Amino acid sequence: MAITRPALRGTMGSTTYYEITMTARELTNSVRPARETDSWASASIDERIQRDVNRSRVMSTIVPYLAQHPDRFFGSFIVLVPKGAVEFEPLTDLVGKLPAAYRSSSDNIGYLTIDKGELIALDGQHRLLAFREVIQGGTNLGPLWSEVGDDEVCVLLIEEESAQKTRRIFNKVNRHAKPTGRSDNIITSEDDGYALVTRRLLDSDLDAPFATRTVNDQQYEPVNWTSNTLQQKSWKLTTISALYESVQDILSYEGYKGFSEKESPIAPDEDTLDTAYEKAAAWWEDILAMDAYKSALKDPSTIPNVRFDSDDPHTLLMRPVGQIALVKGLVYALNASNGDLTRAEAVRRVNMLDYSCPPSSMWRDTIVRADGRMVARKEAYDLAARLIAYMIGADHMAEESKQRLWEDWNKARGKDPHAELDELEEHEQPEDLPEPLAV
**Helix residue ranges per DSSP H, 74-155:** 91-94, 100-106, 125-137, 145-148
- For 77-119, write each residue's pLDDT tens digit: 999 999 989 999 998 888 777 777 777 788 899 999 998 778 9
Taken in order 393, 394, 399, 403, the sign of the CA dihedral is positive
Give the mean pLDDT of 269-287: 97
Q: Give the gyration radius of the chain's Cα atoms.
A: 29
pTM for the whole structure: 0.82
- Rounded CA separation 396/394 (Å): 5
pLDDT band at residue 50 under the 50/70/90 scheme: very low
pLDDT band at residue 364 under the 50/70/90 scheme: very high
Kindly state the DSSP code that residue 151 receives in the 8-state scheme.
-
Strand-pair category, 77-81 with 152-159: parallel
3-state class of 158 per DSSP? strand
Contact (Cβ atoms closer than 8 angstroms) between residue 276 and residue 193: yes
Give the mean pLDDT of 328-356: 97
Say what the pLDDT of residue 40 is.
43
Between these two residues, 330 and 188, which has the higher pLDDT value? 330
Say what the pLDDT of residue 152 is.
97
CA distances from 200 to 218, 375, 387 (A): 22, 28, 30
Q: Is the pLDDT of residue 175 over 80?
A: no
Of 26-35, 193-202, 352-361, the least confident: 26-35
- Rounded CA separation 363/156 (Å): 55
- Rounded CA separation 34/48 (Å): 9
CA distances from 37 to 32, 119, 121 (A): 7, 9, 10
